[in-house]
Amino acid sequence: EEADCLPLLCGLNAKVHWLPRASLGKRHGEGMTLAARELASLPPVNTRMANTAAAEELDLNTQRPWERASAKQGDFYAWVAGESAAVMAIRRFLINEQGLARQQLTLMGYWKLGRSLE
């Protein structure tokens, strides 16, 4: 909700974008997927680490995306956490479409809409 958006202190190179779901008219995860595509400051193509492989698909009914970035892999780092389908969409975008190396990404789909881990 808009009322949940609080001012946050952050580093000089950090940007915080609040995306209240009601103001976007979106379902879970659509705002963060849109933000990754339109608001993220991705490194220029010629400075990116080499992407060694496409992101494999996961069965979100039995698995959750959970990958940790390797230590100090270039100047770019992304931390993405949220609903599993949204994290997977952003993972596909960053790795498959943008060619970023998975070593630069921490991805945590810690819940699945409509399901529990049990």
Q: If you average pLDDT over residues 49-62, what whole number do you get? A: 68
| Residue 63 predicted with pLDDT over 70 | no
Q: What is the pTM of this model?
A: 0.75
Q: If you average pLDDT over residues 39-67, what whole number do you get? A: 73
Q: Please state which of the ranges 6-20, 57-71, 84-98 shows the lowest mean pLDDT.
A: 57-71
Q: If you average pLDDT over residues 1-16, what whole number do you get? A: 87
Contacts of 34 (CB under 8 A, 6+ apart): 19, 24, 26
What's the pLDDT tens digit per position in 10-26? 888 788 888 887 766 66
State the chain's mean pLDDT as an integer. Answer: 81
Cβ proximity of 59 and 109 under 8 Å: no
